[in-house]
Every structure is written in C-alpha cells, then in structure tokens.
Amino acid sequence: TRCTITLSDPSHNHRLPSLAQAYDILAVRPTTEKAFLAACLTLTDASLISLDLTQRFPFHFRPKPLMTAVKRGVRIELCYSQALQGGSVDRRNVIMNVQSIVRATSGRGLVVSSEARSVLGVRAPADVGNLLAVWGLSGERAVEAQTINPRAVVVNETIKRTGFRGVVDVVDGGRKPAESEKAISKEATKGQVNGKRKNEQVEEAAPAMSKRQAKKLRLEALKAAQETTSGSATPSKDSNASS
C-alpha cells in the first residue's frame, strides 16, 4: 500500500512517522520551496518525492538538494500521464519541469509511474521510454527509472520494516528440533548403521570362490545334465523295440 501526502509546511509533519508505519510506501508531494528542501534534505520517513508536474513551481530545481536526496535513498517520481490527460498548459509545464529535473539529476534517482486515472492513461514501457527520450532522458536512464529504481524503493522499504536498523534483513533461520524428533532420527541412523554392518558381515562370511573351483563345479553340473539326458533317452528306445 502507498500513501501520498501533500506537504506545504514541513513543520506540520508530526503524522509522517505514524503513516510510515501504517503504509508500505510513503510519498510526499511538496508544493513550496521550503517543503521541497525539507523533503530532499531532512525528511527520513518518505521514500518518494512525487511532484505535481502540471503546475508552475515558484522555485528552480537545483542539483544540490536533488542529488542529496538521491544519495539518501529518496527517489524522484515522474508521472507521465499528467502530460497525456491534461491540456496544453499542463503538457507544457510537465515537459518543462521534467527537463529541469533531468538536467539537475543527470537522469539519476528517477522513478517513472503513470498516475493514470483510467486505462487510457497507461502506456507500454517502450512507449514510456520513447516519451522520456523526447523529454531529454537517455535510454539507459529511462530503463533504470522503470525497472531498477522502483524495485530499489520496494526493497529498501521492506528492509526498513523487517530488518535490523534498516541494514540487516531478518529471515527465518529455522526452528530447533524437538526431543522426539531427535530420538527418531537417532534410531533411524542407528538402524541404517546396523543394517550396513549386518550386510558387511554376511558378505565377509561368504568365502570367495576361485576360478578353478567354479570351472570344476560347472563341469560337474554339465556332466550331470548329460547323464540325465541319456537316462531319459534309453527307455524310449526300448519301448520302440517292443512295439
């Protein structure tokens, strides 16, 4: 879940910590220069700075505060549907603001989203890349703004909530086996060992047969088979003679 807060006075941000705990992603939308500088330099609860690019801001986007925000892990969100669904004035303001932000950040630390009010405002990733290229963003930075940077925001916010001080991620390391499971595993291991030992003893008890003995036994078996065959053939001759 995500929450976007419109921020005009940074001194009235006492609810931001509670909102950051209630929502997965917290974004601030500054409307004044004071709020914009606070979002870039001091605010620690927000992970996105989402700007309403359709308006003409009373300040300039300077590289120092924007790059400070990027180094702190805060990303700048650009919503392209604001230019597609608005009028000519809104479209002009969006293009002007995007170009100013791209020049100030050199295309780094940007997150592109739609903010579409309907399905008609959504575009394919390739179309968004072409649109950003027209607005002055390189192809490599456009791909990062659509893939790497959004994923980084989600991963960082997840680590903040499940990790230790936002640095070490706490994962399930398993559970300690119960005493009954230990006893069962020991008995199974013991049975396998005993079975192996019994098989080894049986194999050791059976004496090895030499080739000469094997040949002798084979000849004796062949001789016995021949005698049996000759004995069964003799009565048949006698019966023929009597007939």
- Rounded Cα–Cα distance for residues 23 and 2 (Å): 6
Give the CATH number for residue 161. Answer: 3.20.20.140
- Of 173, 167, 184, 107, the residue nearest 138 (C-alpha): 107
Q: Please indicate, yes or no, if residue 98 is contained in any of the structural domains.
A: yes
- Rounded Cα–Cα distance for residues 38 and 7 (Å): 10
Q: Please indicate, yes or no, if residue 179 is contained in any of the structural domains.
A: no
Q: What is the pLDDT of residue 238?
A: 47
Q: Work out the average pLDDT over 233-237.
A: 50
- Of 106, 103, 125, the residue nearest 114 (C-alpha): 125
Kindly report the pTM of this predicted structure: 0.63
- Rounded Cα–Cα distance for residues 21 and 80 (Å): 28
188/42: higher pLDDT: 42
34: containing domain? 2-168
**Total domain count for the chain?**
1
CB 50 within 8 A of CB 79: yes
CB 49 within 8 A of CB 77: yes
Measured at the alpha carbon of residue 135, what is the angle toward residues 134 and 137, in degrees to the nearest 5?
Answer: 95
pLDDT digit string, tens, across residues 94-139: 999 999 999 999 889 999 998 888 888 888 889 999 988 988 888 8
Q: What are residue 49's DSSP bridge partners? A: 28, 76
Q: Please indicate, yes or no, if residue 242 is contained in any of the structural domains.
A: no
pLDDT digit string, tens, across residues 62-78: 999 999 999 988 999 99
Q: How many CA atoms lie within 13 A of 71 on its CB side?
A: 8
Structure token digits, residue 197: 């030992």
